Amino acid sequence: MTVTDLVSYEDALASYDPVMGLEVHVELGTKTKMFCGCSTELKQDANSQTCPTCLGLPGSLPVVNAIGVESAVKIGLALNCEIAEWCRFARKNYFYPDMPKNFQTSQYDEPIAFNGYLDVQLEDGEIFRVQIERAHMEEDTGKSLHVGGATGRIHGASHSLLDYNRAGIPLIEIVTKPIEGAGTRAPEVAKAYVAELRELIKALGVSEARMEQGQMRCDVNLSLRPHGREEFGTRSETKNVNSLRSVERAARFEIQRHAAVLNSGGTIVQETRHFHEEDGSTTAGRIKDNAEDYRYFPEPDLVPVAPAREWVEELRKGLPELPRVRRNRLREEWGVSEHDMQSMLNAGAIDPIVATIEAGADAASARKWWMGELARNANESGRDLASLPITPEQVARVTALVKEGSLNDKLARQVIEGVLAGEGGPDDVVEKRGLKVVSDEGALSTAVDEAIAANAGIADKIRSGKVAAAGALVGAVMKATRGQADAARVRELILEKLGVTEG
């Protein structure tokens, strides 16, 4: 099905009610893997961070990572879940080349956290409660690299390479209950949920949750049912969606696709689907029926996990201020609208802005640079704000230079551009590129005299009281000084010289 065969979004929602289920995998930021002591820093050569345990060699024995369990409990508590008094790991048996044990150590019917909820705020400020089914611990698989083909997919490849460095990295999978009643706002709810979850995970300090690096990825389950029917329709599962915008687009596309299939009398196949960033479409993956049998059984090599109640309560007391509460506080402090706050949340800008303010910038300037120049740069380079090669301290330094008058906005943008290009800190870039506002009054005065002489007509207009025309002369002076003048001072000088007072 191509994009043109789809039913329009409005028509789809006029006939059907969407039901979603969101499964989010979060890679924990522990130093070592979930069941062995191998490092989780994925910087080394392929297969350099492996041992008999994460390679699944016979006779090797796993040991649970205590920080992994602690992180899982923190996530569960922050999601208002009950924490199991006793639970076990389970083997999920299936064969896949990037999973050397031929089973994944996961949790099955005894998750560590269950029965919670997360309140998410929509763009108009409305709160939507998403019910959480469970959060459980498991391990990541290795990576396959298909070589020799044009697309990097297995189709057309001449051979495949396997890297087990990622095998055994701790994951928490968070599964929602069916999300019903969102109606036309289902895609927005999906996006807002993942955004809120990302903020929560970051606030807990258990992962950096960088979606573009795969540290957090979302599977979007979606089905439609005719209005008024209780029973769920057949669902599709769009796998590994790795940006907030893509989560929204994937849900939207699937609503339109399901409606088209159903309207033409077809049946939805229960299958996994791949999301395509280029046009926002999805294509069929593998058929996934309910009978899929992983032959789960309790992992015999690991002892059960029984978190002591006192410890759980201690962790509960240590939870940070929840992101939504914090956002409301910041929104009042900064005096911005709900909508602006939502934009900052979606851009991942809140933490960098807060850090920039802590480094000495005022709130308005910090917001301006992160949501303007830097957000644009992040968008263009397909990165998130936090991974741009500029620190909040450096942004604060730029705002300080603007404040003391040695940079204007235009020059500040060039300084930021230089920092992002790796030319050093703000002061280095100012030095190397020779960027400084011309504050030498003599030089400014000369430039203003020249501009007046070259634009006699405009000067006359200003003399006769049309102060608004001064903008053109300011522009001429800025051009002559290659943007390195303080525009406000230039304007003052022009009016002074022409004997006009404002007001």
Pick 42 or 51: Cβ nearer Zn ion = 51
Q: Which stretch binds Zn ion (CB under 5 A): 34-42, 95-103, 174-182, 244-252?
A: 34-42
Q: Which stretch binds Zn ion (CB under 5 A): 19-27, 45-53, 172-180, 492-500?
A: 45-53
| Cβ count within 10 A of residue 405 | 12
Cβ at position 33, least distance to Zn ion in Å? 5
Cβ at position 295, least distance to Zn ion in Å? 24
Cβ at position 87, least distance to Zn ion in Å? 23
Q: Work out which of 36, 398, 437, 447 binds Zn ion, going by CB under 5 A.
A: 36
Question: Judged by CB under 5 A, does residue 169 bind Zn ion?
Answer: no
Nearest by Cα to 235 from 198, 203, 271: 271
Pick 51 or 480: Cβ nearer Zn ion = 51
Q: Work out which of 7, 12, 28, 38 binds Zn ion, going by CB under 5 A.
A: 38
Cβ at position 203, least distance to Zn ion in Å? 30
* Dist CA 179 CA 168 (whole Å): 31
The contacts of residue 488 (CB under 8 Å, 6+ apart) are none
Tokens of 272: 């996994």
* Dist CA 220 CA 240 (whole Å): 8
Cβ at position 32, least distance to Zn ion in Å? 8
Q: Answer for the pair 186, 251: CB distance below 8 angstroms, yes or no.
A: yes
The DSSP bridge partners found for residue 219 are 23
Q: Kindly calculate the radius of gyration of the chain based on its CA atoms and give it in whole angstroms.
A: 28
Q: Where are the alpha helices (DSSP H) in 272-360?
A: 309-317, 323-334, 338-346, 350-358
Pick 35 or 275: Cβ nearer Zn ion = 35
Pick 69 or 87: Cβ nearer Zn ion = 69
Q: Work out which of 7, 22, 26, 54 binds Zn ion, going by CB under 5 A.
A: 54
Cα-based angle 427, 431, 434 (whole degrees, multiple of 5): 130
- Give, as ranges, the residues between 299 and 318 that touch Zn ion (CB under 5 A): none
Nearest by Cα to 21 from 284, 222, 187, 240: 222
* Pairing of the two strands 103-106 and 113-121: unpaired
Q: Work out which of 51, 175, 354, 480 binds Zn ion, going by CB under 5 A.
A: 51
Q: Which stretch binds Zn ion (CB under 5 A): 35-43, 100-108, 314-322, 491-499?
A: 35-43
Cβ at position 50, least distance to Zn ion in Å? 5
Pick 38 or 375: Cβ nearer Zn ion = 38
Q: Which one-letter amino acid corresponds to residue 418?
A: G
The residues of the shown chain that bind Zn ion, judged by CB under 5 A, are 36, 38, 51, 53-54
